[in-house]
Amino acid sequence: MHRRPTLSLLLLAGLLATPVSHARAAATPAEYAAIRADIEADQAALQARWRGANTPEARAVILTEARARVFEAIAHELIPAWEGTPWDFWGTTQTPGQGQIACGYYVSTLLAHAGFGVERVKLAQQASERIILTMTPDDHIWRTSDATVERSLAPLRDHGDGIYMVGLDYHVGLLVQEGGEARWCDSSYINPTAVTCQAPDGAFSYHSRYRVVGKLLADPMMQAWLEGRALPTFTGRL
């Protein structure tokens, strides 16, 4: 579950943090505004086609196109734009490279800026498992305890390429799998204390006793995106 880090964890983060050096700098405000405008325009066009589709076959085609567009938006536009933005436990910025961002706000902001009707602040403040259950049905989720990184990632072979949200003991982030290769993208609270993408087996922030993983962009989530529907934050019992 995504719980507030203990004092010892926060001290450890400070001790191990090093200056962040990224090949890619965070997007400028103008660049990010252009990225968001492109996503919004494409979403509006797909929503119009969805409203006009009158056969299951036509809707299936649009759903496939929408899923591909959202994957592209998150994996190749929004995530790179945020790289290098500093982490802070209280960080809530909506602008890459300006201010700081906490891990929960990182994932909720990416989802909001990809066009999903999430409650950005409320969602960010939930336990990570509740964030995942807000976005995807339970049959798209798996959980492991005291598992190696390799074993925790094994189900990705069956679930295929896509975007996955991962909830850890004290943290939450996204796994992006393409061509069978996964990268872990998060606002890391420890070395480096910034938004970064790296191989999960080499990321300190991916290590955890408990992991819950949910594959995003399932049909219900994408239908909400196409219909402009809100996705109420899951606050039920775990």
Tens place of pLDDT per residue across the chain (238 aa):
344 333 333 333 333 333 333 446 899 999 999 999 999 999 999 999 999 999 999 999 999 999 999 999 999 999 999 999 999 999 999 999 999 999 999 999 999 999 999 999 999 999 999 999 999 989 899 999 999 999 888 888 889 999 999 999 999 999 999 998 999 999 999 989 999 999 999 999 999 999 999 999 999 999 999 999 999 999 999 8
**Is residue 105 one of the residues assigned to a domain?**
yes
**Is residue 90 one of the residues assigned to a domain?**
yes
Containing domain of residue 132, as a range? 7-14+28-228
Q: Which residues of 195-230 are buried (b: 16+ CB within 10 A; e: fewer)?
A: bbbbebeebebbbbebbbbbbbbbeebbebbbeeee
Number of domains in the chain: 1
State the Cα–Cα distance between residues 168 and 171, nearest whole angstrom. Answer: 5
Distance between terminal CA atoms of the chain? Answer: 10
**Is residue 237 one of the residues assigned to a domain?**
no
Task: Report the predicted TM-score, pTM, of the whole model to 2 decimal places.
Answer: 0.89
